[in-house]
Amino acid sequence: MVQSTASFTSESLAALKQRYAEAGQGHVFKGFDELDDKTAGEFFGQLSGIEVERVTGFFKNATAAHGQEGGDKIEPLEAGSFASALDSAQADERAQWRAEGMRLIGANKVAVILLAGGQGSRLGSSEPKGCYDIGLPSQSSLFAIQAHRIRRLQQLSGNTATIPWLVMTSGPTSAATQATFAQADYFGLREEDVFFFNQGVLPCFDFDGHILLEQAGRVAVAPNGNGGVYEALRVSGALDWLRERGVEHVHSYCVDNCLVRVADPEFVG
């Protein structure tokens, strides 16, 4: 959703206004001429970085789908129409999967991606959700628990493996998350094996499909959700970082999954 920012000239401003008008979002420029030069330049940069046609299309598609009437009533799947690979697998087959997973981990071919953009507000905490103490006797945070599991897998591989840990944060959690990792000495992992990157944002819309302003000269935005991880990996340089390390497989999970088997060898295999 982000593109390179054009230089702020009268011609580029006129072109940007036309783009927004054609997308039905020309209202955002109301009062633009009343902004001071600094605010106007920052606002122009923000608007230039938004693919207004694309995000407006997202809203229209989402609301159109919401308004469509469904056909038959949705019913549960019939018994036998779904299955778990683990449930149907034989013990020796699962052992082969685990062995293959451990081989890949030992060859430094596996990384993990942690989706950690959320705050712990629902848990009564203003800190990033990964800092939350879930009540274990060790008083370990979610970050600490997951880091321990990564370290343990590296040990089980014979201490020859490195499992890169990519941590996706958001604007509100980025600084606090990185500070927490630094204060905890990266929970026993090497700093160079942890890559922080921010998820993207999307403009906020009202119910009529108009982009909202946070204040004069600034579009209101919100994190684009876990689905934004793919673009965020690309624009942050994380994909290049993984390629340079020779990583071929990744395991992605959400920070509040306290039972997650991080880089589970059986799943990887």
Task: Round the average pLDDT of the chain to a whole number and report it.
Answer: 87
- Average pLDDT, integer, range 244-262: 92
Q: Does position 82 have pLDDT exceeding 70, yes or no?
A: no
pLDDT on residue 222: 82
pLDDT on residue 77: 78
Answer with the residue of higher pLDDT: 28 or 157. 28
pLDDT on residue 269: 87
Cβ–Cβ under 8 Å, residues 212 and 203: yes
Answer with the residue of higher pLDDT: 90 or 252. 252
Instruction: Give the residue among 213, 201, 222 at the shortest CA–CA distance from 27.
Output: 213
- Average pLDDT, integer, range 240-251: 96
Reported as a pLDDT band with limits 50, 70 and 90, residue 1 is very low
Reported as a pLDDT band with limits 50, 70 and 90, residue 2 is very low
Cβ–Cβ under 8 Å, residues 258 and 145: yes
Answer with the residue of higher pLDDT: 66 or 197. 197
Q: Does position 73 have pLDDT exceeding 80, yes or no?
A: no
Percent of the chain with pLDDT over 70: 88
> Can you read off the two tokens belonging to residue 25?
């979002």
Q: Does position 137 have pLDDT exceeding 80, yes or no?
A: yes
Q: Does position 57 have pLDDT exceeding 80, yes or no?
A: yes
- Average pLDDT, integer, range 26-44: 93
- Say how many C-beta atoms besides its own lie within 10 A of residue 118's C-beta: 21
Reported as a pLDDT band with limits 50, 70 and 90, residue 150 is very high
Looking at the whole model, is its pTM more than 0.95? no
Percent of the chain with pLDDT over 90: 60
- Average pLDDT, integer, range 83-104: 82
Q: Does position 81 have pLDDT exceeding 50, yes or no?
A: yes
Cβ–Cβ under 8 Å, residues 178 and 198: no
Rounded to the nearest angstrom, the gap between the alpha carbon of residue 154 and the centroid of all alpha carbons in its chain is: 25
pLDDT on residue 250: 95
pLDDT on residue 144: 93
Least reliable range by pLDDT among 4-18, 94-108, 231-245: 4-18
